[in-house]
């Protein structure tokens, strides 16, 4: 089973959501939601300090032994030297026990060698897939093969919609 995570920041509270699913699923098996009131301010270059505590609130509700990997909205590495982004920091925080796959919607010029661009459906805009503890080529293939005919896999789009609801 997989866990995909996302966070949406609002004026007075933050909503973190996780969806549990299998690669071939068309719908989530379960949706887990947490609301967080005390969230750190955004600091450029240190996004993980704001996002990570929110993700961990959702992860705390999940049996990690059942997970093949966690998918995040973002990057594992922020540059080609493999300095950690949110995904890498999460992997270390979880004692390198759970593979992390990053699926980002925007390009980041400093990490071109640590991502695979994945085009889905008829979109000319790729997704940028990174991974740690999970084969990068396999991660890119699995993201490409996920259900849905658009750029964003159906379950990841549902996660985004649920997070913003």
Radius of gyration of the chain (CA): 15
Where do the structural domains in the chain lie, given as residue ranges?
2-164
What is d(CA 102, CA 130) in angstroms, rounded to the nearest whole number? 5
Say which residue the tokens 């549990």 belong to.
20
What's the CATH number of domain 2-164, 1.10.1670.10, 3.90.550.10, 3.30.2170.10, 3.40.50.300?
A: 3.30.2170.10
Higher pLDDT, 44 or 72: 72
DSSP, residue by residue, 101-144:
EEEESS--GGGGGG-EEE--TT-SSPEEEEEESS-HHHHHHHHH
Taking only the tens place, the pLDDT of each residue in 95-153 is 999 999 999 999 988 999 999 999 999 999 999 999 999 999 999 999 999 999 999 99
């Amino acid at each position: 089973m997989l866990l995909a995570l996302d966070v949406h920041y609002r004026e007075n509270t933050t909503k973190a959501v996780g969806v549990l699913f299998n690669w071939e699923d068309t719908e989530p098996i379960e949706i887990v939601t947490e609301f967080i009131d005390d969230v750190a301010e955004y600091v450029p270059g240190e996004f993980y300090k704001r996002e990570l505590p929110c993700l961990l609130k959702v992860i705390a509700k999940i049996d990690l032994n059942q997970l093949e990997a966690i998918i995040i909205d973002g990057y594992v590495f922020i540059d080609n030297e493999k300095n950690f982004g949110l995904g890498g920091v999460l992997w270390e925080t979880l004692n390198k026990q759970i593979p992390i796959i990053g699926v980002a919607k925007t390009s980041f010029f400093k990490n071109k060698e640590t991502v695979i661009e994945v085009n889905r459906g008829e979109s000319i805009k790729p997704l940028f897939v990174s991974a740690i503890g999970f084969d990068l080529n396999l991660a890119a293939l699995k993201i490409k093969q996920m259900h849905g005919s658009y750029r964003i896999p159906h379950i990841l789009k549902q996660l985004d919609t649920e997070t913003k609801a």
